Structure 1
């Protein structure tokens, strides 16, 4: 299906930094259905492509609902949505995809950390509709930082356990009781890396496939020790400087160069570009070893030393 033109029809502040967006199609079209755990890729007002988990029921949707946290070091995605997408804004939205599917099981444990609650909330709502046994553990800093807290407490009652650590690692939730003995259930976890690392550590003795993760920040696009470098576009002879805090794709976009992209996180392969020369620093999760010599994913990868020449 072609990309959709969708309009922001409402916004709801969930916390100081998290906003829920409801999107409906501009034209009279039937929206693609989706399963719990699915996401959509949205072209934000800044031009950046970003993936956001869908919250609502996907069986026969008339709208898509997402929740976006304004990241402190946003490079154009979340800040753009918060600042430049008021009611009435029309956005380009790709059809839903699902890399975090909810599989059949006897029972479920759903674990969320921070804004990672979005796919977990969708899964919990689905399991409640299906009358399946489940429990949710939702970890945040404080109640004020906890998106959907009132909705989830009302919907899930004693199936929901909410834990606040006040930003103190010593007050982190102890998951060991949930994982000490492997059980015939599936676990789904989405949240920041420390939470994912903790669940992987305490579930290492569980059978493969029982514990599932979605890391919503799979690649560090910009790192502290990154430096600026130049990219030359072979077809036009144009040279663009890539600053230390921007990706190649973002620098090209800033310079007015049209490129094709989707995930902008090194996982989908849409921005695959032929590399003519240079010493690349590959950071993607897509290229095979035999492709790395003459291709690069410009959404995340950089130059190790010197510049790069691209077939653009």
Structure 2
């Protein structure tokens, strides 16, 4: 575990138990029982996992609750190891470091009604929104929750409760593309509803395509740039140099520039670590960058990169550090 960051909260894991096949539910509380910082529907925490990396996880609890945070973490075998580290390395009674809640997926309270689309673990921020909307009791909503099977459907029992009949559609495709749920009838005719979608990139791309005729401000997505941080088949190792005459470090396949810097005692400001927030923007002096962020403009990419996701197309990158 990396040394404590004073900007992070140290919370106790009150529960760590399966929420579905391959999904772990974590309940976090303050060690002395104090209230936790408030959060709004759709918010997330940055969590320092046992490996030392920071990863983002959406809060899925009721925003009215101040005594606990609830996270549901899917064990991603093909990811960068953060979820595996958290699921396998954290048990009830442990303490972990987390940021205060941040929200990049804010629920618009002015919307008269909501359409929620969740794919797999994408249910986590959506569930927080649903809990908020139900507590308010004044807005209509409908959830379309799409998963591979009943066994991997987190919160299935809660969302199948009789009082949610008519508000929730759960569909399992059994891994068969021909059995995918048809969302086009939902989006064919624009309404005054706001759409919130979270899940795998193919699902979000499909929803984006189907809602191109909706008002842009009424359609919202979140994925923390999950596809941006996933290793690619053509990734290769490269070197970074810290300043023109500084130390040279190797960046292996499957490891980010940020992780290499952190491993050598160099702290770079960070938040999302997925190429979506812009916090870790770093200048570079030489080299060819493989930009993988969703933040920088073409002009900005000529001088800067996001060290949480970007790699090099050249053998050496000289960073302005």
Indicate which of 100, 123, 136 corresponds to 2:105: 100
Which stretch of the first structure deviates more once superposed, 164-173 or 97-106? Answer: 97-106
* Aligned equivalents of 1:187, 1:256: Cα separation in 2: 43
Matched ranges for 1:267-282 at <5 A: 267-282=276-291
**Partner in structure 1 of residue 3 of structure 2:** none
Deviation of 1:211 (Å): 2.1
**Residue pair 1:191, 1:215 contacting (<8 A) in 2 also:** yes
SS in 2 for 1:263: coil
Structure 1 residues 29 and 295: CA distance shift in structure 2, 3 A: farther
Instruction: State yes or no: 1:248 paired with 2:248.
Output: no
Instruction: State yes or no: 1:140 paired with 2:140.
Output: no
Deviation of 1:202 (Å): 1.9
Instruction: State yes or no: 1:13 paired with 2:18.
Output: yes
Deviation of 1:287 (Å): 3.2
Structure 1 residues 212 and 303: CA distance shift in structure 2, 3 A: same
Matched ranges for 1:1-312 at <5 A: 2-27=7-32, 29-103=34-108, 104-131=110-137, 132-154=139-161, 156-221=164-229, 222-234=231-243, 237-255=246-264, 257-312=266-321
SS in 2 for 1:57: coil
Structure 1 residues 235 and 81: CA distance shift in structure 2, 3 A: farther
Deviation of 1:239 (Å): 2.1
* Aligned equivalents of 1:26, 1:276: Cα separation in 2: 45
Q: What is the root-mean-square deviation in Å for CA atoms of aligned residues?
A: 2.1
* Aligned equivalents of 2:13, 2:197: Cα separation in 1: 29
Deviation of 1:29 (Å): 4.3
Which stretch of the first structure deviates more once superposed, 296-305 or 161-170? Answer: 296-305
* Aligned equivalents of 2:189, 2:278: Cα separation in 1: 39
Deviations, residues 100-130 of structure 1 (Å, cap 9, x unaligned) = 1111222211111000000111111111111
* TM-score, normalisation: structure 1: 0.92
**Residue pair 2:244, 2:318 contacting (<8 A) in 1 also:** no
**Residue pair 1:18, 1:70 contacting (<8 A) in 2 also:** yes
Deviation of 1:220 (Å): 1.9
**Residue pair 2:228, 2:275 contacting (<8 A) in 1 also:** no
SS in 1 for 2:165: helix
State the number of aligned residues.
312
Which stretch of the first structure deviates more once superposed, 22-31 or 86-95? Answer: 22-31
Deviation of 1:185 (Å): 1.2
**Residue pair 2:228, 2:293 contacting (<8 A) in 1 also:** no
Deviation of 1:24 (Å): 1.1
Structure 1: give runs of 5+ residues left out of the alignment. none
Structure 1 residues 71 and 218: CA distance shift in structure 2, 3 A: closer
Which stretch of the first structure deviates more once superposed, 219-228 or 167-176? Answer: 219-228
**Residue pair 1:138, 1:160 contacting (<8 A) in 2 also:** yes
SS in 2 for 1:194: helix
Structure 2: give runs of 5+ residues left out of the alignment. 1-5
Deviation of 1:254 (Å): 4.3
Structure 1 residues 206 and 272: CA distance shift in structure 2, 3 A: closer
